[in-house]
Amino acid sequence: MNTFSDNNYNQTDNILILGVQIANLSEEQIMRHIEKILPNDVFNIIFTPNPEICLKAEADYEYKQILNQADLNIPDGVGLKLGAEILGQSLMHRITGVDLTNRILEYCNNSNKKFKIYILNHYNSLSSLSLIEKTLKEKYPNILITGTQQKFSEIESVANDILNQKPDIIFSTYGAPEQEKQIVELANSIEGPKLGIGVGGTFDFITGKATRAPKWWRDLGIEWFYRLIKQPQRFSRITDATIKFPLTCYKWKKRIDNIYRNNVVGVIVKADQILLQNNRRFPGDHWQLPQGGVDDGETPEQAVIREISEELGVDPSYLLIDRKLPETHTYTWPKWAQLQKGYKGQRQEIFIVNFSGDNSVFHFKDSEEVEDIKWVKKSDLKQTMFHKRRGLADIVLKYL
């Protein structure tokens, strides 16, 4: 999984659009990556986000996390270039799911190895599984084709079939967000496949059930208009991609330039000690105080108890707010974090929280954020905290 950090954010290889990681690579670079991973025994993931998918992810944090588990997110949609530009980045390439799928199939067909392809085809797809199999066997005779066609709700039975079939590559046509959820679930539960790709309606173009825009339309970046003419029922989707998406990018740009996100910090105190947690999202010792954003309709007091409870897996009954500190802590994020979260930085309200339990009531094993905890004395707080968070420690220590 690709993970952005302050040290490895490089616009040459990756960009962020509405918090979604996008590979800034050419088609040839992507194919070299695929050729490199196919001989290995690791399940790699490739998704093909377009403006509509990025909008879905912007409104659905869980879906955004799923997309960002991909090894590569390929920019499938000319609108992503505009979105990147609005956000102060440069997206050099656009690779459609159709072009990438054909390149992968051509590579497999010309390889000395007999590749096996498994297709997860939605039960009401325009192209039936039998038509896809027939078409691919005619165009790519050296590839073994297999698969299944059913509803998304019945997908649990697929894992065993995939284990029995032992495919190298899995294509899913379920469309967003189902196909991405499906592939991540498979990657987390089975071994064997080398690559899983979400391709939506790509096979409809390959089988001829759908017609692509002429090349000159595609070169001009107006393939969306061709599809609108052919399929007027797509009007709302086209509107999302061509109007709502750039407006949302402008909204993010304005926030990144001007607005600090409301955030709360919990200083958990027991006797003369303060609790710190090691942030799982960063390598090494990244000790910090529990913190998190304030949700819509939530007071800061409610937010700090909820954040502590969620991150540390502790029942709120063990937590009691003592007071809110009169100072706030405001800091600006590095560029990668701004593009990932859509704000300039954070403005933190700080709460002293009394704790009445012991370490046995913390259950953070499955937490996405907490690797470990420890209690430190007031005199050790600043030197123990991660160096970029010591400005917060200075404020806390004034009032303890």
**117 and 243 fall within a common domain:** yes
Using one digit for the tens of pLDDT, what is the confidence trace for 307-329? 999 999 999 999 999 999 999 99
> And the tokens for 22?
């996008």
Structure tokens at 308: 């502590």
* Residue 36 belongs to some domain of the structure: yes
Residues 76 and 162 in one domain: yes
**362 inside domain:** yes
Any domain includes 104: yes
**CA atoms of 239 and 248, how far apart (whole Å):** 13
> How many Cβ atoms from other residues are within 10 Å of residue 321's Cβ?
15
- The reported pLDDT for the residue numbered 225 is 59
The CATH number given to whatever domain includes residue 355 is 3.90.79.10
Domain count, the chain: 2
Do 229 and 122 sit in the same domain of this protein? yes
The pair of structure tokens assigned to 246 is 């750039």
Q: Average model confidence (pLDDT) for the chain?
A: 90
**What percent of the chain clears pLDDT 70, i.e. is strictly above it?**
89
pLDDT value, residue 381? 96
Q: What are the structure tokens assigned to 41, written together?
A: 């025994």
3 domain-assigned: no
Q: What is the pLDDT of residue 3?
A: 41
Residues 242 and 268 placed together within one structural domain of the fold:
no
For range 170-197, the mean pLDDT: 93
Residues 232 and 322 occupy one common structural domain? no
Q: Do 268 and 220 fall into the same domain?
A: no
Residue 268 CA to residue 275 CA, distance in Å, equals 6
Residue that finishes a domain, picked among 192, 225, 253: 253
- 1 has a pLDDT exceeding 60: no
Which of these three, 185, 220, 253, is where a domain ends? 253
Q: Are residues 216 and 281 in the same domain?
A: no
Residue 196 is predicted with a pLDDT of: 96
Nearest to 96 by CA among 131, 48, 134: 48
Q: Please tell me whether residues 271 and 246 are part of one structural domain.
A: no
- Please tell me which residue, 220 or 384, carries the higher pLDDT value: 384
Q: How far apart are CA 65 and CA 147, in angstroms?
A: 27
Domain housing 48: 14-253
Domain closes at, from 208, 226, 253: 253
157 band by pLDDT with thresholds 50, 70 and 90:
confident
pLDDT at 392 over 90: yes
269 and 340 part of one domain: yes
Sole residue written with tokens 């990681």: 21
Same domain, 50 and 131: yes
Tokens of 323: 């007071």
Query: Is 9 within the bounds of a domain?
Result: no
Residues 93 and 137 in one domain: yes
Q: Is residue 4 part of a domain?
A: no
List, for residues 108-128, the tens digit of each pLDDT value: 999 999 999 999 998 888 899
Question: Higher model confidence: residue 339 or residue 230?
Answer: 339
CB distance 21 to 9 below 8 Å: no
The reply to whether 7 falls in a domain is no
Residue 241 pLDDT more than 70?
Answer: yes
pLDDT of 214 > 80? The answer is: no
Residues 236-245, mean pLDDT to the nearest whole number? 79
Name beta bridge partners: 344: none
Same domain, 243 and 264: no
- Nearest to 388, CA basis, from 336, 334, 338: 334
Any domain includes 6: no
